[in-house]
Amino acid sequence: MSALSVDFPEIEDDFPQIFSAETAYQMTSILEGAVQNGTGRKLKDLNLDLGGKTGTTNGNTDAWFIGFTSKLIIGVYVGADSPKPLGKYETGAKTALPIFKSFIKNAIKKEEARPFKVANNILMMVIDPITGKKAETQSKKTIIEAYKKLPIKYDSNSNINNRLKNNNILKFY
């Protein structure tokens, strides 16, 4: 097949699924949070749907940033074959992330970085980041977190699901 061909090979996906679509979305959401509020926040001004994670080894001998859109994954590594310190303050956010940012600015247009697809059975909740609980109306700052919807199982032998039987509404154990 030539590089100019319009024929594409069919690639079989016979790999076992190792975790659920819901877990995959939760991880994506966490990594989006790293870009919005964490060590990747210098990317916010790009106004793209991005997820990513910085990394720095002990002694600052290696630094990296792995970032992704819904279509593209990019890894940037800064280090040497023989480990030696990059500098006291050289971290993934300071050293590798700017390289990623420079590349992504030229490689991706806003319309190509589409929002990440939310998996079925995900419940988005507004959370107070200070308490970690569902936000109250008086919460000053909030974040949105992705939770898995848990299936409700009704078991007639369970004390929890059986607590309303026999008009015993105060039995919570």
- pTM as predicted: 0.75
What is the per-residue pLDDT across 105-135, written as a single tens digit (0 to 9) for each?
999 988 888 999 999 999 999 999 888 899 9
* Residue whose C-alpha is closest to residue 144's, from 22, 15, 30: 30
- Give yes or no: residues 104 and 28 share one domain: yes
Domain containing 142: what range?
121-151
- Give yes or no: residues 99 and 132 share one domain: no
- Give yes or no: residues 108 and 39 share one domain: yes
Under the banding of pLDDT at 50, 70 and 90, the label for residue 1 is low
Residue with tokens 């909030």: 142
In a domain, 170, yes or no: no
Among positive and negative, which fits the CA dihedral 117, 123, 129, 132?
negative
In a domain, 65, yes or no: yes
- Give yes or no: residues 35 and 78 share one domain: yes
Long-range CB pairs of 33-42, under 8 A, 24+ apart, other chains included: 33/143, 35/67, 37/143, 39/91, 39/92, 39/93, 39/97, 40/65, 40/67, 40/93, 40/97, 42/93, 42/97, 42/98, 42/101
What is the per-residue pLDDT across 135-164, written as a single tens digit (0 to 9) for each?
988 888 898 899 999 876 655 555 554 444
In a domain, 67, yes or no: yes
In a domain, 16, yes or no: no
- Give yes or no: residues 72 and 125 share one domain: no
The pLDDT value given to residue 155? 59
Amino acid code (one letter) for 62:
D
What average pLDDT does range 16-40 have in this prediction? 94
- Give yes or no: residues 25 and 102 share one domain: yes
Q: E strands of the chain, at which residues?
A: 51-56, 62-68, 73-79, 122-127, 143-148
In a domain, 47, yes or no: yes
